[in-house]
Amino acid sequence: MPARGSKSKLSPDEAAAWQGLLRLNARILRELDADLVRSHGLAASSYDVMIQLALAPRRRLRMTELAEEVLMSPSGLTRVVDQLEREGLVERERRGDDARSFDAVLTPEGRKRLKSANEAHLARVRELFLDRLSDAQLEQLVDIWSAVGPELTGSAAHHRP
């Protein structure tokens, strides 16, 4: 079993695990973002917004809920939705139950663009990450993410005792 560090210093294994997570995350996200921009004219943040809307009932979410789903500040989300709206991929509609709030709604053009981008994006996710893992490693990662942040992954139900 690897040694643990102290309050002021990580062990070599802890440092390697933490640095690996940070570096891999940065590298993969940078590559995926560049791929999406190059192939479909979508930044990764725009793609994430569109995916969350596509998964939502009636392809719509209250702006505050959408910000939580994509882990963005409300102002950051507003900038992304403004751009998507200019491109005709998302619309904002005033909520019937609260005239002060808006829903972001994926448009038919947004669904079309997302469908086009999704297959290529998922192929790159597989190439850069998933296909490099064995089934056992993939299961270990699910368990790790469930232990560390189930609220971020939605994988709490998948956690194996």
Rounded Cα distance, 89 and 2, in Å:
49
Instruction: Work out how many domains the chain is built from and give that number.
Output: 1
Residue 61 in any domain: the answer is yes
Backbone angles phi, psi at 91, to 5 degrees: -125, 155
- Which CATH number goes with the domain that contains 98? 1.10.10.10
Phi-psi group of 101: left, alpha or beta (phi > 0 → left; psi -120 to 50 → alpha; rest → beta): beta
Q: What global pTM score does this model have? A: 0.79
Residue 159 in any domain: the answer is no
Number of alpha carbons in the 13 Å side-chain half-sphere of residue 89: 26
* Domain extent at residue 28: 19-113
pLDDT tens digits for 31-67? 999 999 999 999 999 999 999 999 999 999 999 999 9
> Which one, of 94, 88, 4, lies nearest residue 46 by Cα?
88
Rounded Cα distance, 157 and 46, in Å:
28
Task: Please check the confidence at residue 69 and state whether its pLDDT lies above 50.
Answer: yes
Point out the least confidently predicted range of 2-11, 60-69, 102-111.
2-11
Residue 25 in any domain: the answer is yes
Number of alpha carbons in the 13 Å side-chain half-sphere of residue 40: 25
Please state, for a pLDDT cut of 70, what percent of the chain lies above it.
93
Residue 37 in any domain: the answer is yes
Task: Please check the confidence at residue 156 and state whether its pLDDT lies above 90.
Answer: no
Residue 4 in any domain: the answer is no
Residue 73 in any domain: the answer is yes
pLDDT of residue 160: 37
Residue 66 in any domain: the answer is yes
Rounded Cα distance, 87 and 109, in Å:
9
Rounded Cα distance, 30 and 9, in Å:
29
Residue 60 in any domain: the answer is yes
